[in-house]
Amino acid sequence: MFAISLMALISMISSVIVAESTQGDAAGINLAGSLRMMSYRIIAETQQHESLDTEESLRQVQSSLKEFEQRIKSPKLDNVIPNDSEHNQRLFYEGLINEWQNELAPALILAIEAGPTGNAEYLKHIEIFVHKVDYLVQLLEESTESKIKLLSLVQAISLFMTILIIFIAMYDIKCNVVEPLAQLLSAAKQASLGKLNARVYFESDDELGLLGKTFNHMAEELSKTYTDLENRVQKKTALLRHSNESLQLLYEATRRFNKNEDICRRLMPVMKKLEEVIPVGPVSVTLCEPNQKNSYRTLTTQLLERPADCENQSCNECLVTKIDQNPHDSLSLPIQTREAYFGEFLVKYSPQTPPSNEQVRLITTLVENLSTVLSLELKAEKEQQMSLMEERAVIARELHDSLAQSLSYLKMQVSRLQILRNKNADETQIDDVTNELKEGLNNAYRQLRELLTTFRLTLDQPGLQPALEATIKEFSQRLTLEIELKYELKHQSLSPNEEIHVLQLVREALANVVKHSQANQVSVEITQSGEVVEVRILDNGIGLPNDKDLANHYGLVIMRDRASTLGGELTVKNREGNGVQVLMRFHPKQR
């Protein structure tokens, strides 16, 4: 822009200078051209004076001479001629003036005085002078044309230089602005598309060069950061995938460990999955009896032949076609809890790729889960044995408290009958004993049926409430009416022994209702008030007789014994209006 402005300024200044130098040239050329015309006019007026020879013609000639003198010495013409005394135009112009003043003007005056002969001689001189005047005009025209040509040359050079500068500037802009901007734009577009390998390849010390270097540095840093992030994401993804596989393995192991299947079918898929998740193998498990060192079963993932103790002939989980003979290091973990030792979990691995700490923790967690499952199974087995023993103890106690006492009573009645027969007692006493034996046998048989029914109910469905519901249903059918049940005990409030006694008491009371009450409304309520459990059986029957002693009634005796066994108290009384209320209150042992 500065160069173009400079060229324009030079062009304008040169135009002004040339225009100033050519100012007045036209007037000077016209004036010089008029000298030639004046020369011919003087000749014509001189010839006219010769023919007329009057004062008027003479004054005319003199006036023309004076005017010619003024014109040839005119400042307009003098200003057009260069001031340099050595210049050819100045020398020629001064020569014309000298020739006019010293030769032609005096010669013309003499020619007028000499007559026609002098006039002819003068005409020859004036024609020569006219040619000199023409030459002066030609010099002036050539000088003016040279100035105009110089102006044209300056304008042409300025135009050429301007166009050249414009092309150079455009080429410079293309090389140093357009192409760098295009590279920056292309690199920015590629970077926006995620292609961080884009670079700007031009180099310069200007702003665009600095911008390009900065962009390359930024792209390189972003590429490093992106590559680092990708590597970290890949590592995190691999860790997450490994964690997911580990969690899946633990879930699958927990699910399989808790299945009720053979230990081989439970362990072998987990051991195979462990070899897939972690680069280890083979994996083997040696199982022992709890707290015993002698193993009873060994499981491994690499066997060529089926084990002798294999129970499933269709399973091929542990069989392989070729055993890995490469050297291995091993990791052995005991399968044990605080309560028992169950065996060893052995994992072999290549010395070049040992398991990491996370993988060791996974194996340890897997072994701990296996130990927990085996411990829970052992505990469940012991609890089942204890439950069986407790149930047998309950049955023995029930037999002792009910059927055994009845049999003892019958045995004493038989002994009494034998004594009466040996003493030849009367028939009335013998008949009384016989009737007591019959009643005792009936009661013993009824108690046996009650016990069988009770044991069957408690074994079919655990808990007191299902057994009570079954009992209510049974007696509702026997009474042909709906017995109302109200059960409000908390979860696991009673022990199995307490549940048996409560159920037996309810059955005994309902049996009395069936036999004696003639009721049409019966309800059973099992409630809890603070620490006390209340068992209440209500009916609206005929009630208890007032004239009969109930202290030795066999059913009431059994119910009082059950209440006493539970550490409670039994109350049997008539209700206000009609009916009977049987109420037992006791503190459960678990409470």
What does the alpha-carbon distance between residue 325 and residue 302 come to, in Å, rounded to a whole number? 11
> Has residue 536 got a pLDDT over 90?
yes
pLDDT digits (tens, 9 = 90+) for 228-247: 888 999 988 888 888 888 88
Tokens in use for 432?
């009384």
CB 47 within 8 A of CB 165: no
Coil/strand/helix, residue 125: helix
CA distances from 67 to 31, 32, 33, 36 (A): 12, 13, 14, 13
CB 191 within 8 A of CB 163: no
Q: Classify residue 330 by its DSSP letter.
A: E
Coil/strand/helix, residue 580: strand
The pLDDT-based confidence of 523 (bands split at 50, 70, 90) is very high
Alpha helices in 25-115 (DSSP H): 25-52, 55-72, 75-80, 88-99, 105-114
CB 348 within 8 A of CB 330: yes
Percent of the chain with pLDDT over 90: 5
Please give the pLDDT value at position 362.
Answer: 83
pLDDT digits (tens, 9 = 90+) for 128-158: 777 777 787 777 777 778 878 888 888 888 8
pLDDT digits (tens, 9 = 90+) for 429-467: 888 888 888 888 887 787 777 677 666 654 455 678 888
Please give the pLDDT value at position 459.
Answer: 42
| pLDDT, mean of residues 189-209 | 80
CB 505 within 8 A of CB 550: no
What does the alpha-carbon distance between residue 587 and residue 591 come to, in Å, rounded to a whole number? 7
| pLDDT, mean of residues 4-15 | 83
This prediction's pTM: 0.45
Coil/strand/helix, residue 477: helix
For residues 553 and 13, which has the higher predicted lDDT (pLDDT)?
13
Please give the pLDDT value at position 522.
Answer: 92
Cα-only R_g, the chain: 72
Q: What's the mean per-residue pLDDT of the chain?
A: 78
CB 274 within 8 A of CB 280: yes
What does the alpha-carbon distance between residue 333 and residue 284 come to, in Å, rounded to a whole number? 11
Highest mean predicted confidence (pLDDT) among 287-301, 329-343, 531-545: 531-545
Percent of the chain with pLDDT over 70: 84
Q: Classify residue 329 by its DSSP letter.
A: E
What is the Cα 409 distance to its own chain's centre?
84
pLDDT digits (tens, 9 = 90+) for 540-572: 988 887 645 555 466 677 788 888 888 899 999
H or E element, residue 484: strand 484-487
> Has residue 122 got a pLDDT over 70?
no
pLDDT digits (tens, 9 = 90+) for 285-311: 888 888 777 777 777 777 666 666 666
